[in-house]
């Protein structure tokens, strides 16, 4: 499918002329793709098949894997704003030439983003650092800013945060597909970080020495190592244990990404322990039932002065 062909009508005409391709190409659609995304990526695949002569419909091959990976990378760039090494960007730009996508999501310039951040700084300050380290158990910028506020998230908080995490769910799903699926050899933190930043937010990482943690899960009795907690927009996403901060962050990211393996993610208010107290916390969950409690919180962005001081 070469030359000047473009648009959904020409794709349909091409498939009418090549009916043997219809079932095969439709089998390449992933479950998280919208009709608009799939229509564009399908055209990308069909346009570039001739450049991969070893691709045979219905026959697995390295050439087919490469074509599909490039189609995912192109779609991630067009619809999610993901960026890749310049060599890859040049490649997908050439391969996608002539494909017209209506109502492509607009991207703000860096100056526009900076201005928006300045206006929202008071609300978004908790997520301002890519990875914020804490020197003592439970200390955080959120806690000092939240002094005097009502302890616990507001009842409407889950509904307010849900749209963002719906977008993040799609971004993670696309990223994992392009990476070959969820697995132990992925850079879990980099995947999570890049997806969050593609949605115009940042992660907050809290580190605490393992020896300072009370109420650890059974079997976690060693005193060396660190614990990492990951949040985004004050919503808890995952906890990890490791011999050092880097390993703990990697495990926390892996646990956070596991939540995105279901059909959807949900922001809920749940009870968990913080400094020996039961508190209500915003948490990102999947649809799987849980047979045990949550790890103790390392930070708490919703507390008041009374909880901060430890007084009753």
List the domain boundaries for the chain. 8-95, 115-309
Q: How far is CA 286 from the centre of its chain?
A: 14
Least confident of 108-122, 249-263, 290-304: 108-122
- pLDDT one-digit tens code per residue, 29-54: 887 778 888 888 888 888 888 888 77
pLDDT value for 147: 40
Pairing of strands 226-232, 235-242: antiparallel
Tell me, yes or no, if the pTM score tops 0.75. no
Q: Reply yes or no on whether the pLDDT at 110 is more than 70.
A: no
Query: 105: Cβ–Cβ under 8 A, 6 or more apart, which residues?
Result: 79, 80, 81
Q: In 242-263, which positions are buried (b, 16+ CB within 10 angstroms) versus exposed (e)?
A: beebeebbbbbbbbbbebbeee
Average pLDDT score over residue span 113-130? 52
- pLDDT one-digit tens code per residue, 66-89: 888 898 889 888 888 888 888 888
Using CA atoms, how far residue 128 sits from 29, 118, 176, 265, in Å, is 36, 11, 25, 23
> Between these two residues, 53 and 196, which has the higher pLDDT value?
196
Q: Distance between CA 78 and CA 76 in Å, rounded?
A: 6
Least confident of 145-149, 180-184, 273-277: 145-149
CATH 3.30.160.20 fits 115-309, yes or no: yes
């Amino acid at each position: 499918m070469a030359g000047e062909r473009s648009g959904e009508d020409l794709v349909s005409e091409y498939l009418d002329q090549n009916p043997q391709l219809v079932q095969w190409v439709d089998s390449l659609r992933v479950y998280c793709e919208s009709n608009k995304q799939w229509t564009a990526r399908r055209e990308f695949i069909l346009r570039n098949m001739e450049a991969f002569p070893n691709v045979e419909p219905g026959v697995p091959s390295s050439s087919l894997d490469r074509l599909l990976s490039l189609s995912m990378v192109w779609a991630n760039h067009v619809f999610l704003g993901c960026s890749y090494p310049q060599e890859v960007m040049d490649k997908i730009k050439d391969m996608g030439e002539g494909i017209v996508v209506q109502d492509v999501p607009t991207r703000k310039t860096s100056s526009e983003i900076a201005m928006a951040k300045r206006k929202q700084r008071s609300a978004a300050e908790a997520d301002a650092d890519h990875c914020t380290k804490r020197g003592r158990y439970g200390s955080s910028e959120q806690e000092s800013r939240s002094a005097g506020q009502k302890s616990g998230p507001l009842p409407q908080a889950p509904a307010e945060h849900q749209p963002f995490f719906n977008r993040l769910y799609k971004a993670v799903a696309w990223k994992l597909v392009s990476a070959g699926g969820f697995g132990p050899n992925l850079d879990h933190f980099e995947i999570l970080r890049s997806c969050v930043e593609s949605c115009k937010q940042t992660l907050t990482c809290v580190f605490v020495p393992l020896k300072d943690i009370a109420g650890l899960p059974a079997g976690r009795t060693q005193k060396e190592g660190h614990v990492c907690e990951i949040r985004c927009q004050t919503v808890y996403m995952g906890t990890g244990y490791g011999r050092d901060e880097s390993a703990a962050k990697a495990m926390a990211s892996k646990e956070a990404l596991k939540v995105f393996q279901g059909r959807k993610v949900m922001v809920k208010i749940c009870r968990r322990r913080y400094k020996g107290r039961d508190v209500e916390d915003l948490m990102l969950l999947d649809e799987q039932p849980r047979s045990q409690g949550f790890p103790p919180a390392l930070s708490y962005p919703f507390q008041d002065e009374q909880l901060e001081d430890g007084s009753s």
